[in-house]
């Protein structure tokens, strides 16, 4: 996960709270929209900026897998055993 200063975290928390409190059927689309909107706002339409944005998205995916999905899978393996 990106380890940011607490002051920045406090500024971003209201957005996270807002998205979290949406009805479940609106969360995925709204999160997708928010991330896409932020990427458009932060990165001008140039190849190097598109490349940077794709790198950020790739890092998000990998870090989420490492910190969330993999431990979840490990827990389920312990509970249910390996698929063989």
Whether 34 and 16 share a structural domain: yes
Kindly list the distances between the CA atom of residue 66 and the CA atoms of 13, 34, 45, 63, 83, in Å, as whole numbers in the listed order.
Answer: 22, 23, 30, 5, 20
Query: Are 48 and 38 in the same domain?
Result: no
**DSSP codes, 54-68:** HHHHHHHHHHHIIII
**28 and 51: one domain?**
no
Same domain for 38 and 48, yes or no, is: no
Q: Whole domain around residue 15: which residue ranges?
A: 1-42
Same domain, 25 and 54: no
How many Å apart are CA 40 and CA 45, to the nearest integer? 8
The pLDDT of residue 44 is 95
Q: How many domains does the chain have?
A: 2
pTM over 0.85: no
Shared-domain flag, residues 34 and 70: no
**Are 27 and 19 spatial neighbours (Cβ–Cβ below 8 Å)?**
yes
What are the tens digits of pLDDT across the range 1-40? 678 899 999 999 999 999 999 999 999 999 999 999 999 9
Torsion sign across C-alpha atoms 51, 52, 58, 62? positive
């Amino acid at each position: 996960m990106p380890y940011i200063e607490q002051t920045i975290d406090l500024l971003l928390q209201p957005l996270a709270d807002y998205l979290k409190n949406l009805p479940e059927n609106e969360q995925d689309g709204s999160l997708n929209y928010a991330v896409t909107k932020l990427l458009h706002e932060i990165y001008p339409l140039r190849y190097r900026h598109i490349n940077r944005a794709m790198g950020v998205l790739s890092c998000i995916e990998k870090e989420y897998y490492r910190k969330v999905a993999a431990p979840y899978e490990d827990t389920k393996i312990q509970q249910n055993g390996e698929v063989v």
